Amino acid sequence: MSKNPLLDGRRGERHLLLGNEAIVRGALEAGVHMISCYPGTPSSEVPDTFRRLGGEGRYRLEYSVNEKVAFEVAAGGALGGAMSLVTMKHVGLNVAADPLFTAAYTGMPGGLVVLSADDPGCHSSQNEQDNRAYARAAMLPCLEPVSAQEAHDMTREAFRLARELQQPVLLRTTTRVNHMRGPVEFDDLPAAQPLVPFERNPGRFVPVPAVARKRHAAVLDIMEQARALAESSRFNTERAGNAATRLGIIASGVARNYLADALTAGGWDDKVRVLELGMTWPLPEKRLVAFLEQCDRVLVLEEGPALLERDVRALAQREGCKTRLEGKTDSLTELGELSTTLLLRRLAEFLDCPCPVKGGNAQALELPGRPPNLCAGCSHRAVFHAVRQLFGDDAYYSSDIGCYTLGMLPPLKCADFLVCMGSSISAGSGFARASGKTVVAFIGDSTFFHSGMTGLANAVFNRHDIIVVILDNGTTAMTGHQPNPGMVQDMLGENAAHLDIEAIVRAMGVSSCRKVRAFNLKAVTSALEEMRAQTGVRVLIAEEPCALYARRQLKKTQPQVAMVKEQGPDAAHCLETLACPAFYRDGEALAVDESLCTGCMVCLQVGPKSFKARRRDV
Amino acid sequence: MSTDKQKRMRIYFTGVGGQGTLTATTLLARTAMDAGLDVVAGEVHGMAQRGGVVESVLLLGGWRSPKLDFGEADVLLGFEPLETLRGLPYLRAGGAVFSSADPLPPLSVSLGGAQYPSMEEVEAQTRRVAGQCHFVPCRELGLKAGSAQAGNTVLLSVACASGILPFGVDALEAAIGKYLPPKLQASNLKALELGMAALRI
């Protein structure tokens, strides 16, 4: 193994790091003992980097089966005295919300840091929820880095606070911060940090009602201590361009970046005083009030909902501040992401200056789209094709979270509704019961372990009527091939054990269960035909490794590729119903791009007259 | 000299998932950092990478916001001509465009439902807003150098050789030597030369 600066780097070195890598280095410098996670964009590179590094015995990493479990493992670790980090995407914290709220009550003596990677703009998510709200609701100190250096520094600070206060700390990032790269200055890695020995105290750690009532008061005290720390936190900074100005801006989160760039671009640095919040909960109220009192007008800038704005308004009202407060408007909304241009426009209004933003210089053109698509050789495409040919629009398709959500696109059209991760079986059950329609639910292997198993148990228990297709590609494909319990033992290594999906399904009492190769269209189709004639819970397990995973990790490539042997309506039909990205038009003729074709040979089964196999040119 | 070197610049990269545009972005970011510039790069991973559009940015000289809005980029690096055209609104008036001239048609075009714009159209639209633009057969030159991915280095080389960035081809050459794995060195150094030659034509 070559040396990696994340493990071997020394004090004073500077390296260009991804925000998520900077979090890893910060955690290592704090002395993290345990990391648990469920992967999800944009958080995944944190555990994946820990995995790549191996750790040389410094820490223990696990990919848990879902975020609730990951949180509970980390909480147990922190109760057992370890500095623990648990990572997930924003919607994952909903799954983990139950242990989150209670962990905040009992406290976590070893130190627990919760990374929530939010996704404003929905780059890879089903919503734009803002998890600063969890810091407020569950009572956790919250830090929000906006540069790679801060991602590093604040992760260290989060562990320091987590141990000092014994309160879980929320490290809240957004996509642009997780996936930015910037220079990070290192400190040395410490010697192994001591565990905090667990002292039995059921009166604190077992939150029966009498204990919980007492702990609620204790947590309020702890949060007041955290507030005192926020008052003097080095991550909350103030500057006044011009001592006389009575105009102020309070900025938090990634808005701090856009603000800095907009002030520079507008040449307005002298016109305002600025309070930047990096430790964003609890609020440093004294500092905020002192700032408000220096200003006649204050603009609050934050991406997403007006949480800070509402809190500052409430604080100003309580303290009798006469400052006029401004925030979200019709042009600076709660939707999506901010930008420097948006802030230039808003600041021009606020400062009553001409806006330097010129109109667009290129008209938006009508161009052919390039939506994300299932890869060439993706086994999901084969199964979706077979399902659509057999059921067409007669069935309703309950989808789930994974690459296979892309099955919604024509011509496959295999997603009619989706509630959340792990919902396909349970939501499909409810839909079938209410509508009386045939429902086919699709779920991937990792999502099945995440929270599909409980839905399946429920479907059997409550005698629901549903066909479940488990798309088992042997990995967690969408987020970058992280381990899951269904993965073959060889790829899991000795720290994890393989679980057999078919055995689980049968043990849950599903009698109609078939396992087929996804690329064998005849087998997929005949199994589904058999299931169509039955009632109750039916499960088809369609196995085939993810094409990218097969090539990159399993090092498997097919020696053959497909080619068109006969043009005509049969070939055109295959193109129109399968829509494999390896197909292209060469003038009027249909052809297969050898560099994209993985040799799955599904097109040969769809159009046997039109396609044949040939050896791959090397 | 040093203040000139810290000239603020925002570069917008666009390409297609799987092409290697993020690797190219990181290589140019490392090049800039080693040249003593303030650097922030931004990228988006995840769902978009399944054959979709992949955008990234590189900010030099003190800019902090790793997401660009329309009209903010000084330079556009397009690794695929249709994506260059789609990304044009991000360019400020008079900015510079360096683009591949080798199309990767999206599925909608392959399926015959949509029309890929002609290269003449792509270039004409680009000239309308750009102060300067260069279209280079990156894929073709990359394959000549050893791999389609080396075509990305062709494009970086063209941009460095143009003199518009605050560092030159020598800085890129040093970064290739320092940061790319040994087995990729020869093809990328060849690609670097082909890029410089392409600009002279």
Which H helix or E strand runs over A231? helix A209-231
pLDDT greater than 50 at residue A84 = yes
Regarding whether A217 and A271 lie in a shared domain, the answer is no
Regarding whether A193 and A213 lie in a shared domain, the answer is yes
- Which structural domain range is residue A139 located in? 5-231
Q: Considering chain A, what percentage of its residues have pLDDT values greater than 70?
A: 99
Looking at residue A547, its pLDDT comes to: 92
Contact B129 A361 (CB under 8 A): yes
Query: Is B82 near chain A, with CB under 8 Å?
Result: yes
Identify whether A359 is part of a domain.
no
pLDDT greater than 60 at residue A532 = yes
Number of H helices, E strands in chain B: 9, 6
Main-chain dihedrals φ then ψ at residue A90, nearest 5 degrees: -55, -45
Averaged pLDDT, A512-534: 98
Confidence of residue A1 (pLDDT cuts 50, 70, 90): very low
Contact B71 A579 (CB under 8 A): no
* Counted domains in chain A: 4
Which chain B residues have a beta carbon less than 8 Å from that of A148? Answer: 40
Of A450, A465, A454, A466, residue with least CA distance to A401: A450
Looking at residue B2, its pLDDT comes to: 40
Contact B107 A357 (CB under 8 A): no
Regarding whether A305 and A407 lie in a shared domain, the answer is no
Of A510, A473, A483, A514, residue with least CA distance to A598: A473
Q: How close does chain A come to B2, measured CA to CA in Å?
A: 19
For A594, the token pair is 């050898």
The residue with greater pLDDT, A96 or A56, is: A96
Q: Both ends of chain B: CA-CA distance in Å? A: 30
**CB pairs below 8 Å between A and B: how many?**
164
Averaged pLDDT, A286-303: 98
Contact B52 A181 (CB under 8 A): no
* Range A284-310 burial, b when 16+ CB lie within 10 A, else e: bbebbbebbebbeebbbbbbbbbbbbe
Rg (CA), chain A: 27
Identify whether A72 is part of a domain.
yes
Query: Is A16 near chain B, with CB under 8 Å?
Result: yes
- Residues 238 to 277 of A: which have CB under 8 A from any B CB? 254, 256-258, 260-261, 264
Regarding whether A529 and A567 lie in a shared domain, the answer is no
For A274, the token pair is 């600025």
Digit-by-digit pLDDT tens for chain B (201 residues) are: 344 568 899 999 999 988 899 999 999 999 999 999 999 999 987 665 567 899 999 999 999 999 999 999 999 999 999 999 999 999 999 999 999 999 998 888 877 778 999 999 999 999 999 999 999 999 999 999 999 999 999 999 999 999 999 999 999 999 999 999 999 999 999 999 999 999 886
Domain B2-200: homologous superfamily in CATH? Pyruvate-ferredoxin oxidoreductase, PFOR, domain III (3.40.920.10)
Contact A367 B41 (CB under 8 A): no
Query: Is B181 near chain A, with CB under 8 Å?
Result: no
Sign of CA dihedral B20, A37, A501, A438: negative
Among A532, A552, A572, identify where a domain stops.
A552
Regarding whether A565 and A547 lie in a shared domain, the answer is no
Looking at residue A241, its pLDDT comes to: 79
Q: How close does chain A come to B168, measured CA to CA in Å?
A: 20
Query: Is A479 near chain B, with CB under 8 Å?
Result: yes
- Using CB atoms, pick whichever of A180, A260, A371 lies closest to residue B52: A371
Mean pLDDT over the full length of chain A: 95
Nearest residue of A to residue B27, measured between CA atoms: A16
Residue A275 near residue A250 (C-beta atoms within 8 A): yes
Identify whether A255 is part of a domain.
yes
Sheet holding A395-398, edge to edge: A395-398, A438-444, A466-472, A537-543, A512-517
Q: What is the β-pairing status of strands A324-326 and A297-301? A: parallel
Averaged pLDDT, A539-561: 91
Residue A405 near residue A111 (C-beta atoms within 8 A): no
Q: How close does chain A come to B161, measured CA to CA in Å?
A: 24
**Cα A583 from Cα B111, distance rounded (Å):** 8
Domain ranges of chain B: 2-200
- Using CB atoms, pick whichever of B16, B66, B112 lies closest to residue A370: B16
pLDDT digits (tens, 9 = 90+) for A138-181: 999 999 999 999 999 999 999 999 999 999 999 999 999 999 99
Q: How close does chain A come to B162, measured CA to CA in Å?
A: 23
* A29-43, A399-413, B97-111: segment of lowest average pLDDT: B97-111
pTM (2 d.p.): 0.96
Regarding whether A218 and A254 lie in a shared domain, the answer is no
Query: Is B108 near chain A, with CB under 8 Å?
Result: yes
ipTM given for this complex: 0.95
Query: Is B36 near chain A, with CB under 8 Å?
Result: no
Sign of CA dihedral A355, A357, A360, A361: positive
Among A231, A249, A270, identify where a domain stops.
A231
Nearest residue of A to residue B107, measured between CA atoms: A581
